[in-house]
Structure 1
Amino acid sequence: MKDPKSIFINSVWKENKLEALYNTPLIGVAFSSKQGYVLELNQQYADMLGYTRRELVGTFWTDFSPPEYKELTLNLYHRLLKKEISCFTYEKEYIRKDKSRIWVEISVQSKKNEFDNIEYFIVLARDIDDRKKTLLKLDAEMKQNEALISKLKFQNEQLKEFANLISHNLRAPVGSMIGLLELYDSGIVDYKQSIGVFSEQYRNLTYSLLDTINTIGSALDIKDRSEVKKEKVSFKEILNTVIISLLGKAKDLDFDLITDFELEEITYSKSYLISIIQNLLSNSLKYRSTERKLRVEIKTYYTNEQEIMEFSDNGTGINLEQNSRNIFGLHKTFHTNKDSKGVGLFLTRKHVEAMGGKIFAESKQNYGIKFTLIFNYHENH
Structure 2
Amino acid sequence: MVRKALLRFALLFFPLLIIALFWSNMQLKEQNNTLFMHEKGKLEQKTDLAVEFIKPIVSGVHFWSSFPFDSATDTSYSEKIIRFMEAMPNYDQFRILDTNGIEKLRLERNQEGKIIPSTIFQDKSDRYYFIESKKLTANEVYISKLDLNIEHGHLEFPFKPVFRCIAPIYDSEKVKIGVVIINYRAEQFIKMLSEHDKGSLFFITDHYGEFVSAPHDSAEFALQKGVKWSGMSSPVYQQVKALEEQKDTAFLANNEIWITTTIHLEEAYKTFVKSPSHNVQLVGNTSWKLTHYIPSSLLEQRNEPIYRGRMLFGTFAFIVLLVLSLVLANRDATKEKLHKRLNQSHQELKKAQTDLEEKYTDLKKVSEKLQTRNSQLREFNYLISHNIRAPITSISTLTDMYEDAKSMEEVHELNPKLKKITQTLSNLVEDLLQYVRILNADKIATKTLDLKEIIEESAALFIEATDQKTFVINTNLEAWNTITFSSIYLKSIIQNLISNAIKYRSHERDAYILFKTYKEKGVHKLEVVDNGIGIDLSKHGKDIFKLYKRFHKQASGKGMGLFIIKSQLEALNATIEIKSEKGVGTIFTITFNNIDNHE
Cα distance in 2 for partners of 1:142, 1:266 equals: 27
- The CA deviation at 1:316 is 1.6
What residue number does 2:400 align with?
182
Are 1:339 and 2:556 counterparts?
yes
Are 1:265 and 2:482 counterparts?
yes
Letter in 2 for 1:220: V
Question: Which SS does the other structure have where 1:212 is aligned?
Answer: helix
* TM-superposition CA deviations, 1:176-202 (whole Å, max 9, x none): 2222332343349x7526734x33332
Letter in 1 for 2:22: P
What residue number does 2:540 align with?
323
Which one of 402, 405, 425 corresponds to residue 209 of structure 1?
Answer: 425
- The CA deviation at 1:207 is 1.9
Q: Which TM-score applies when normalising by structure 2?
A: 0.43
Letter in 2 for 1:46: A
1:359 and 1:371 in contact (8 A); partners too:
yes
Are 1:42 and 2:258 counterparts?
no
- When residues 282 and 150 of structure 1 are mapped into structure 2, their CA distance, relative to the original with a 3 A threshold, is same
* TM-superposition CA deviations, 1:192-239 (whole Å, max 9, x none): 26734x333322222221222111111121148972222211111111
Counting only pairs closer than 5 Å after superposition, residues 119-138 of structure 1 correspond to structure 2 as: 121-123=319-321, 137-138=355-356
Letter in 2 for 1:221: R
What residue number does 2:22 align with?
67
Cα distance in 2 for partners of 1:326, 1:64 equals: 56
What residue number does 1:28 align with?
none
More displaced 10-residue stretch of structure 1: 71-80 or 296-305: 71-80
Q: Which TM-score applies when normalising by structure 1?
A: 0.65
Cα distance in 2 for partners of 1:109, 1:132 equals: 29
Structure index of larger Rg? 2
More displaced 10-residue stretch of structure 1: 136-145 or 200-209: 136-145
Question: Which SS does the other structure have where 1:227 is aligned?
Answer: coil
Which one of 451, 461, 470 corresponds to residue 235 of structure 1?
Answer: 451
1:287 and 1:315 in contact (8 A); partners too:
yes
Letter in 2 for 1:310: E
Letter in 2 for 1:266: I
Gaps of 5+ in 1: 1-18, 26-40, 50-55, 82-86, 88-107, 112-119
* TM-superposition CA deviations, 1:303-346 (whole Å, max 9, x none): 21221111111112111110000011100001114632100000
Which one of 364, 376, 387 corresponds to residue 169 of structure 1?
Answer: 387
Cα distance in 1 for partners of 2:466, 2:392 equals: 32
Counting only pairs closer than 5 Å after superposition, residues 13-162 of structure 1 correspond to structure 2 as: 42-47=6-11, 62-63=17-18, 65=20, 67-68=22-23, 70=25, 78=309, 121-123=319-321, 137-162=355-380
Say what the alpha-carbon RMSD is for the aligned residues: 4.1
Cα distance in 2 for partners of 1:374, 1:148 equals: 19
Question: Which SS does the other structure have where 2:525 is aligned?
Answer: strand
Cα distance in 2 for partners of 1:69, 1:140 equals: 28
1:62 and 1:70 in contact (8 A); partners too:
no
Cα distance in 2 for partners of 1:76, 1:211 equals: 69
More displaced 10-residue stretch of structure 1: 356-365 or 344-353: 356-365
- The CA deviation at 1:248 is 7.3
* TM-superposition CA deviations, 1:87-143 (whole Å, max 9, x none): 9xxxxxxxxxxxxxxxxxxxx9969xxxxxxxx841369898766665555555444
2:405 and 2:411 in contact (8 A); partners too:
no
Cα distance in 2 for partners of 1:243, 1:299 equals: 15
1:154 and 1:224 in contact (8 A); partners too:
no
- The CA deviation at 1:286 is 1.3
- The CA deviation at 1:277 is 0.9
More displaced 10-residue stretch of structure 1: 128-137 or 219-228: 128-137
Letter in 2 for 1:217: L
- The CA deviation at 1:264 is 0.8
More displaced 10-residue stretch of structure 1: 135-144 or 67-76: 67-76
1:256 and 1:294 in contact (8 A); partners too:
yes
- The CA deviation at 1:240 is 2.0
Letter in 2 for 1:42: L
Letter in 2 for 1:159: L
Counting only pairs closer than 5 Å after superposition, residues 272-351 of structure 1 correspond to structure 2 as: 272-337=489-554, 339-351=556-568
Are 1:366 and 2:583 counterparts?
yes
What residue number does 2:145 align with?
none
- The CA deviation at 1:257 is 1.2
Cα distance in 2 for partners of 1:131, 1:328 equals: 48
- The CA deviation at 1:175 is 1.5
Question: Which SS does the other structure have where 1:122 is aligned?
Answer: helix
Question: Which SS does the other structure have where 1:324 is aligned?
Answer: helix
Cα distance in 1 for partners of 2:493, 2:23 equals: 38
Cα distance in 1 for partners of 2:483, 2:374 equals: 28
Gaps of 5+ in 2: 29-304, 326-342
Aligned residue-pair number = 299
Question: Which SS does the other structure have where 2:430 is aligned?
Answer: helix
2:523 and 2:591 in contact (8 A); partners too:
yes
* TM-superposition CA deviations, 1:31-84 (whole Å, max 9, x none): xxxxxxxxxx722122568xxxxxx7xxx9745656357557997984996xxx
Letter in 2 for 1:43: L
- The CA deviation at 1:153 is 3.6
- When residues 251 and 258 of structure 1 are mapped into structure 2, their CA distance, relative to the original with a 3 A threshold, is closer
Letter in 2 for 1:356: N
- When residues 305 and 266 of structure 1 are mapped into structure 2, their CA distance, relative to the original with a 3 A threshold, is same
Cα distance in 2 for partners of 1:203, 1:177 equals: 10
- When residues 174 and 225 of structure 1 are mapped into structure 2, their CA distance, relative to the original with a 3 A threshold, is closer
Cα distance in 2 for partners of 1:173, 1:372 equals: 36
Cα distance in 2 for partners of 1:352, 1:76 equals: 47
